[in-house]
Structure 1
Amino acid sequence: MTYQALMFDIDGTLTNSLPAYTRVMRQVLKEYGLSFNEEQAQRTFPMAAEQAMADLGVAADEFDHFQARYEAVMADHFQDIQLYPGIEHLITTLPASVKLGIVTSQRRNELEAGMQPHQAMMTKMAVTIGADDTPKRKPDPLPLLTALERVHVAPENALFIGDSLSDEQTAKAANVDFGLAVWGMDPNADHQQVAHRFAHPDDIGRLFKN
């Protein structure tokens, strides 16, 4: 089928942000007397902030302070975060009739600051939904359904592209086809509900070629 809308996750899908995430989390967790290794980084990277904190042993009542510290430290590392090869070409060459958007677990200020270097791509986005734009976060379907509602596209006519099990669960709950960004996926993840597996961003563009 020809999709009327493509919605994208950011981390691990549009941007290779795992190295920056690892450095920032290691620094912030050290302030809490906690260590942070590569295995923990891989495991918690796809999680929402609260879920990652719980997994790493940070108390729930520390959320606001932890998130503020994370964002403050990350602000010094945005320049280290790069788009995956082929992403900008994909976004800027898709048919104009296709509605594009972002649905992420990042909060709005982090989303906007982190994507500031990529304005050519961001001008193509008809909608962006961050973690604080809806009362519930992925894998709840509300963020994805909200994005689709804003671009007036029914779930059955959309594709959500992400790298994590959380993204897959979000798409399934919203009755939206899921496209797996293989370039950013957790190698240990067992994805089951996948309409498309994309080895490279160019594979997404081929959906729209006759």
Structure 2
Amino acid sequence: MAYQLVLFDIDGTLVDSFAAYRQTMQAILPAFHQSATVAALRETFSMSIDDEMAALKIPVNQKSGLLAAYDRETKRANHREPLFPGIIDMLDQLRRYRIQVGVVTSRLDADITNLDPNVFLNRMAIIVTADQVPYPKPDPRPLQFALDQLSVQPQESLYVGDAGNDEVAAKAANVDFGAALWGNSEVPFLRPNYHFYHPKDVIDVALSK
């Protein structure tokens, strides 16, 4: 039987946002007496804000300042965050087969306002952000919240993400996990249920489970 629900991470999974993240962080980190290589930012890219600050050695009492600086630089630079090729077609095909789609992200509500709802967010049956469930992945509660809201069982669900934290969260929620490799195929995973090299691969798996 096909999956009833496919949930997605945003950054690095649906949206090609690393370039914008890298440019923004490299612009604001000097104000916090820090710097970071591209490799280091690859590591922090999918982290929650608290884990990111710890990794970059930014004191916790500067959290509000970091968030404000990130927001200002994002608005000033107006970096593009395009969807990966094939995403819209994948979402539409899943919905055509009556498979619900949704988002579970560590982004805050304010961080998704620059995404176009007409081509992306309006397709989602549910959008779970860190404002709704303040327990970032790898905690399973954001995924569990999505399942509860949609009355879908874990075994009927698939979570697709591009980072190890996504996999750990899915496994803890007893949800199958698919590694999204179309943005970065070098991310290490433990034991994903599926490896997806193109968004269309998700369709094949979702229908043939």
Normalising by structure 2, we get a TM-score of 0.93
Q: Equivalent residue for 2:27? A: 27
Deviation at 1:193, TM superposition (A): 2.6
Native 8 Å contact 1:78 1:114 kept in 2:
no
Q: Equivalent residue for 2:119? A: 120
Cα distance in 2 between the residues matched to 1:148 and 1:119: 24
Give the gaps of 5 or more residues in structure 1. Answer: none
Q: Equivalent residue for 2:156? A: 157
Q: Equivalent residue for 2:47? A: 47
Native 8 Å contact 1:42 1:186 kept in 2:
no
Native 8 Å contact 2:164 2:190 kept in 1:
no
Hey, which bits of structure 1, 4+ residues long, moved more than 6 A?
none
2:179 alignment partner AA: L
Native 8 Å contact 2:2 2:207 kept in 1:
no
Number of residues paired by the alignment? 207
2:107 alignment partner AA: Q
Q: Equivalent residue for 2:128? A: 129
Cα distance in 2 between the residues matched to 1:108 and 1:175: 26
Percent identity of equivalent pairs:
33
Cα distance in 2 between the residues matched to 1:136 and 1:166: 12
Please state if 1:100 is matched with 2:101: yes
Cα distance in 2 between the residues matched to 1:19 and 1:13: 14
Cα distance in 2 between the residues matched to 1:179 and 1:12: 13
Cα distance in 1 between the residues matched to 2:78 and 2:11: 12
List per-residue Cα deviations over 1:56-90 (Å, max 9, x = no partner).
11001111111121122223455511100100111
Q: Equivalent residue for 2:201? A: 203
Q: How does 1:41-190 map to 2 (within 5 A)?
A: 41-77=41-77, 79-96=79-96, 97-111=98-112, 113-116=113-116, 118-185=117-184, 187=186, 189-190=187-188
Q: Equivalent residue for 2:13? A: 13
Cα distance in 1 between the residues matched to 2:85 and 2:122: 19
Deviates more, 1:41-50 or 1:164-173: 41-50
1:93 alignment partner AA: Q
Deviation at 1:93, TM superposition (A): 2.1
Native 8 Å contact 1:90 1:201 kept in 2:
yes
Give the gaps of 5 or more residues in structure 2. Answer: none
Three-state SS of the structure 2 residue aligned to 1:120 is coil
